[in-house]
Structure 1
């Protein structure tokens, strides 16, 4: 949220992601995506600078958040972003004769064989 000032000197916070456009004639008017309008004392450049500073702050805060660490059986502590298996996947050995074989017990095929068909060029 950015803090701006109305013409009566009352301050208010507004979500800059909901601003559709900004007009200046003669006062700075914010037009929101829902059609509502707010007249503020700040100049067009001041509003743009506050929006840019807000977005830079959001990105900076997101970079400082450490990744979530999860305990995975057989894998130990693994960051969710870099995990060897997708979130929600079952861990453990698969039952299959060779890599690439689709057997009835293979969890990747769901127990069903899907026939391949050629592409139409």
Structure 2
């Protein structure tokens, strides 16, 4: 969310993903995708900078949450011709039922 200021001085937050348009008429008007309009004290350039900073913070947060994945060696085939199972940290393993054999 970005924090903007109404012309009365009250601050409020807007989801920048819902912004369709930002116009200077001469007051700055934020138009949301549902048609809702807000008059704000910030200039068009300031709103653009707020949106840019918000998106950069989302990317930075996502990068800090990612853990590097180490290389997993290729599985060795077992005696039955199927690969052995290898445990990969953070990966959920779901078992499969073997298909019924044809008679």
Superposition TM-score, scaled by structure 2 size: 0.71
C-alpha distance in 2 between matches for 1:23 and 1:63: 33
Cα offset for 1:79? 3.3
- Asked if residue 90 in structure 1 is aligned to residue 101 in structure 2, the reply is no
Higher RCO by CA contacts (8 Å cutoff, separation 6 or greater): 2
- Asked if residue 79 in structure 1 is aligned to residue 90 in structure 2, the reply is yes
Where 1:52 maps in the other structure, the secondary structure is: helix
C-alpha distance in 1 between matches for 2:55 and 2:43: 19
In structure 2, the gaps of 5 or more residues are 68-84
- Asked if residue 21 in structure 1 is aligned to residue 21 in structure 2, the reply is yes
Which segments of structure 1 move beyond 6 Å, counting only runs of 4 or more? none
C-alpha distance in 2 between matches for 1:23 and 1:44: 6
The answer for the alignment partner of 2:78 in structure 1 is: none
C-alpha distance in 2 between matches for 1:66 and 1:22: 33
In structure 1, the gaps of 5 or more residues are 68-73, 81-86, 96-102, 106-110, 112-121
Cα offset for 1:23? 1.3
CA RMSD of aligned residues (A): 2.6
Where 1:76 maps in the other structure, the secondary structure is: coil
The answer for the alignment partner of 1:62 in structure 2 is: 62
> Number of matched residues?
86
